[in-house]
Structure 1
Amino acid sequence: MSGHSYETGKTNGSVHKAVCESCQIEQRHIVEASARSRWDSDEYTGITEFEVIRCLNCDTLSFRKEASNSEDYWYDPETEEYTSHFDVSVYPNRTAGRFKIDGHYHLPPDVRAAYEEVISAVNGGQPILAGLGVRVLIEVICRDRNAAGKSLLAKIDDLKAKGVLTHAGADILHKLRSMGNESAHEAKPSSDKQISLAMDVVDNLLQSVYIHPNEAKSAFK
């Protein structure tokens, strides 16, 4: 018999391990509310769990989705057993372990919006969009700081001339600009190491240009 069915509270009280958005490490989470969607046919059964989970360390709430079906499994020749595959996603996305820097609320709205989209692309495992997003973020920063020049290369050099960037910082941004160009024009995905280094550089840039100056105003009144 084929059909769709729903059931609530089936996994309430269950405990899962997940990276906590606030703790920024893997923590135990308890399911506070849940709903199960089930599809049955003569040859196929699919189950999706929708869960609101709470970190048992800091009480931060997240959303967890777990999907499985009767056709998605793999065979382990060592144990000679079949194991079902579960597709798990958590929102806000944090699969790559990249979190927003402390004080990100100090960023101007346009810069913050671009930064948050880059974080989403990185954590979503989208290396082409992440590389392109880094370039867009640099463009937005240059525009916010009124950098002169018709090209991004010239704008970065102008920020260096104004003292906003150091010589070393400008050289690194040029490398990130090149990485973004490859993502945009050649659809070339950046490596995990490139993206991780790029985000470290971006974080440092945002801290030095926006976050630290704003925090210094209140710390040294």
Structure 2
Amino acid sequence: MSKEIYSLDCRECHRRTRHEELASFSEESDPYDYHDMTSWMIVKCQGCFSHAFLKKYDDYEAYYEDDNGEINHNVEFTTYPPVIAKHRPISNTFNLPIMVRNIYIQTLETLGIKSYLIASIGLRATVEAVCKDLNIPGRNLEVRINNLQKNGHISNTDKKMLHAIRFLGNDAAHDIIEPKKADILIALDIIEHMLNSIYILREKTKNLETIIDDYNSFLKLLEKLSMEFTGAETINITTLLSKKTRLIEGKKDEFIEKFNRDLLEGKINFLNYEKTEEINDRDIFLFSIKAR
């Protein structure tokens, strides 16, 4: 006996695929009362071979006419774990803070069962959780989103999109307005873009060179370079930086001026000030690297 094949959304393939029925159990009502049947099945995707639980409900007393003019009874399918059709969730959720990850996953589960009103509140809560994790100040979410952008975590365009999610969540929580499916899926894209940008990509690219725009990061770079340096005993900042100078082009003069002051005052704990030489009418500060 051939097994039933169902076309279902697969949580692993992230698209609709053929699923084979492996086992099933059905309960059918008395046709003389109200004729319907509920079936529970274990199914397996024929693409990735992942398993799922399927509930099929046949309502034999509710009919519709299809595009070919044929009369069919209503059939409803529910899969578990819930699946958001054609959606590929963030895979590296282990890079997310626990609080952010939990809210994000719970929101996905809510979307999977098509509870769009609750999901919109979950998306708003995800923004709140990110602000809390990053210690973003503000008396309310509106201010915190603005500060999220001012602190350099998101772009101005991202800020406007997060405000859209704030409105969506506020409408759901305060006015009990359920968003449209298309709108909630766009909001999900915005949230996942934010999480990818703030957490996932930063973790992936942490070893890639990029510009340095704050003095503390500049000092960390110098300390790293000093540990790797194998040249002369007495050097200047240009020699130590070498090609890494490109990382501070926009802040070079500001950083070096402050570095020279800190060096003279003995605040650079991994370098020793040695002397100052005048070259081309400029004071060049020479230093040595402290033994470790």
The verdict on a shared fold, with TM-score over 0.5 as the criterion, is: yes
Q: Supply the AA of the counterpart residue of 2:72.
A: T
Q: Do residues 201 (structure 1) and 190 (structure 2) align?
A: yes
Change in Cα spacing, 1:65 to 1:212, as seen in structure 2 (3 Å) is same
**1:114-125 matched pairs, under 5 angstroms:** 114-125=103-114
For residue 72 of structure 1, give the secondary structure of its aligned residue in structure 2: strand
Identity of aligned residues (%): 25
Q: Supply the AA of the counterpart residue of 1:28.
A: R
Unaligned residue ranges in structure 1 (runs of 5+)? 1-10
**1:85-104 matched pairs, under 5 angstroms:** 85-104=74-93
**1:126-141 matched pairs, under 5 angstroms:** 126-141=115-130
CA–CA separation in structure 1 for the residues paired with 2:72 and 2:31: 21
Q: Supply the AA of the counterpart residue of 1:56.
A: Q
CA–CA separation in structure 2 for the residues paired with 1:91 and 1:99: 16
Give the equivalent residue in structure 1 for 2:36.
46
CA–CA separation in structure 2 for the residues paired with 1:198 and 1:78: 37
For residue 125 of structure 2, give the secondary structure of its aligned residue in structure 1: helix
CA–CA separation in structure 1 for the residues paired with 2:140 and 2:28: 54
- TM-score scaled to structure 2, two decimals? 0.64
**More divergent stretch after superposition (116-125 vs 169-178):** 116-125
**More divergent stretch after superposition (158-167 vs 120-129):** 120-129
Q: Do residues 186 (structure 1) and 155 (structure 2) align?
A: no
CA–CA separation in structure 2 for the residues paired with 1:77 and 1:49: 26
Q: Supply the AA of the counterpart residue of 2:116.
A: P
Q: Do residues 84 (structure 1) and 77 (structure 2) align?
A: no
Q: Supply the AA of the counterpart residue of 2:5.
A: V
Give the equivalent residue in structure 2 for 1:59.
49
Q: Supply the AA of the counterpart residue of 1:57.
A: G
CA–CA separation in structure 1 for the residues paired with 2:154 and 2:35: 57
Q: Do residues 30 (structure 1) and 20 (structure 2) align?
A: yes
Give the equivalent residue in structure 2 for 1:165.
154
**More divergent stretch after superposition (200-209 vs 63-72):** 63-72
Aligned length, in residue pairs: 209
Q: Supply the AA of the counterpart residue of 1:24.
A: H
**More divergent stretch after superposition (110-119 vs 124-133):** 124-133
Once the two structures are TM-superposed, the CA of residue 217 in structure 1 deviates from its matched residue by 4.7
Give the equivalent residue in structure 2 for 1:5.
none
Offset from partner CA, 1:71-124 (integer Å, 9 cap, x none): 233356974x54211111111222543341232232222111211222233332
Change in Cα spacing, 1:77 to 1:22, as seen in structure 2 (3 Å) is closer
Give the equivalent residue in structure 2 for 1:8.
none
- TM-score scaled to structure 1, two decimals? 0.83
Change in Cα spacing, 1:30 to 1:135, as seen in structure 2 (3 Å) is same
**Structural RMSD (CA):** 2.5
Q: Supply the AA of the counterpart residue of 2:103.
A: A
Native 8 Å contact 2:22 2:41 kept in 1: yes
Q: Supply the AA of the counterpart residue of 1:115.
A: Y
CA–CA separation in structure 2 for the residues paired with 1:76 and 1:197: 31
Native 8 Å contact 1:96 1:122 kept in 2: no
